[in-house]
Amino acid sequence: MSEDASNIVYLAISVITLAIAAWKALALRRDPTTTLALTTSMLFCATLVYVMASPVGYRTLGDWTGQPSFATLPVYVGILACFALVHLITLLWDSALLEVPKRRRTQVTAWSVGYVASGCLMVAAFAAADLSGPADPLKFNTAFTDDPFVLIFLAVFLATLTSGTLNAYRQCRRAEVSDHGLQHSLAVFGYAMLAIFGYVVCSAPAIVAAVCGSHALDTVGVFGSSFGAFGTIIMCYGLSGSAVGAWLRERRDYTTLQPLWELVVGQVDDDLAFNPDSTPGQGGQLPANVSFNLHRRVIEILDGIRTLRPWVSQDVIDDVRRSASDLTEADREALAAAAALQEAVQQLHIAREQFAQRSRPDIAPPEGPPVVLPGEDTPASEERERLLRIARFLVHPLAERSREGTEARPAA
């Protein structure tokens, strides 16, 4: 890549990593975990690395320190730090290692010591090298190969990067994670490690050729940085892709549940709402913390359904079950629940109107034992899917029979 292209690519990547790092930092405040802390640290580190590695950042840092090639040291050490953190994250995610704490602790300690030792050797070799003269931000690997300390510096860097990326790839391929999203992230990490190893494949021959006195492969070495940038983009997707997908699904589910929430909470009792901003008057405004508010929405809907239970009609449920015999059992039960809830809200409003007219001393539910709403025995882990199915069936023709009188009535 040319310097202008490198500036654009590197600074763009730094913006991406900074944005993801800020997002992860907010999540870390809500849920402080070791892996999330390592992820956030790695992303902030990657941001600094790409800012310093860009030709404009490289030359600026060289001007500040009075040594044109100084930026190479924090950039290369920062690269190792980033991949050390990624490697540790993959070890901590592995369910197999989680079951053997001693083995996991040994591997984490061994790799941590190895990365720290490599960083110390690189600092010592860089400090002892003679790096006087102008520097090309993209050709450091082949510009100072006549200095033995630079060769030691590069050898330690490339050897550690090779060992780290290949072992991390192997770990990602072997690791088994119960969470589907994390398993996907591990697979993406593996591809990112292979892409980054392409930097070593390009740089090593160029360095060897430069040591032998030929600079014919310098361009190949410069091209290796493209693999590093591509691998970083893949890694960013691995860190945020599944999380973004989960956030989008939660956002969609939050919106889908809005009509059901308005029916069993907004038209029943506003005091059941935890968040005042989610009242029908706000138009179902989406809050910032979607995950938390989605869980709250499910709880509020379940509370509203419990409030409506005394007004649920078994006749409505049986009628819908007979009329919707062509649907699957799950859909038929969801449709029956949707129709029963709409009818229950209508009956509750009738009772309240009678109470308002003082024709009855108090609001009283119909006589008889409460009717069991279809799906009430659903496990807690599956309640969200059940409520989503009910919400989708609120507009079904069979459910709208009980809806006609409900929409015309004022909210509670």
Of 250 and 402, which is predicted with more confidence?
A: 250
Q: What is the dihedral of CA 210, 215, 216, 220, to 10 degrees?
A: 70
The pLDDT of residue 265 is 85
Q: Which residue, 178, 194, 198, 179, is CA-closest to 235?
A: 194
> Would you state the pLDDT for residue 372?
78
Where does the pLDDT of residue 401 fall: very low under 50, low under 70, confident under 90, or very high at 90 and above?
low
pLDDT at 309: 83
Average pLDDT of span 137-157: 89
Percentages (nearest 5) of helix, strand, coil residues in the chain: 75, 0, 25
Tell me: pLDDT of 247 over 60. yes
Question: What pLDDT is attached to residue 93?
Answer: 76
Per-residue pLDDT, 249: 85
pLDDT above 80 for 118: yes
Residue 281 is predicted with a pLDDT of 40
Share of residues in the chain with pLDDT > 70 (%): 85
User: Average pLDDT of 307-317?
Assistant: 84
**pLDDT > 90 fraction of the chain, expressed in percent and rounded:** 23
**Dist CA 135 CA 70 (whole Å):** 9
pLDDT at 213: 86
Name the nearest CA neighbour of 165 among 103, 224, 104. Answer: 224
Report the C-alpha dihedral over residues 223, 229, 230, 234, rounded to 10 degrees: 160
| Residue 406 pLDDT greater than 60, yes or no | no
Query: What is the reported pLDDT for 357?
Result: 63
Average pLDDT estimate for 5-9? 87
What is the length of the chain? 412
User: What pLDDT is stored for residue 153 in this prediction?
Assistant: 94
Quickly state the pLDDT bin for 277 (edges 50, 70, 90): low
41 closest CA partner among 10, 13, 20, 16: 20
Q: What is the mean pLDDT of residues 115-134?
A: 90
Residues 6+ apart with CB under 8 A from 398: 320, 323, 324, 335, 339
Q: Rounded to two decimals, what is the model's pTM?
A: 0.68
Place of tokens 């009535």: 409
Of 216, 168, 206, give the one whose Cα is nearest residue 188. Answer: 168
Residues 6+ away with beta carbon under 8 Å from 171 = 87, 90, 91, 94
Most confident of 226-235, 239-248, 268-277, 285-294: 226-235
The pLDDT of residue 410:
44
Give the model's pLDDT for residue 83.
84
Q: What is the dihedral of CA 361, 365, 369, 371, to 10 degrees?
A: 180
Q: Are 304 and 264 in contact (CB under 8 A)?
A: yes
Task: Flag whether pLDDT at 318 surpasses 90.
Answer: no
- Please report the pLDDT score of residue 283 as a whole number: 41
Say what the pLDDT of residue 160 is.
Answer: 93
Q: What mean pLDDT value characterizes the chain?
A: 82
Q: Which amino acid is at 61?
A: L
Q: What is the pLDDT of residues 182-228, one digit of tens each?
A: 777 778 888 888 898 999 999 999 999 999 888 888 888 888 888 88
Distance CA(110)–CA(171), nearest Å, equals 15
State whether residue 353 is helix, strand or coil. Answer: helix
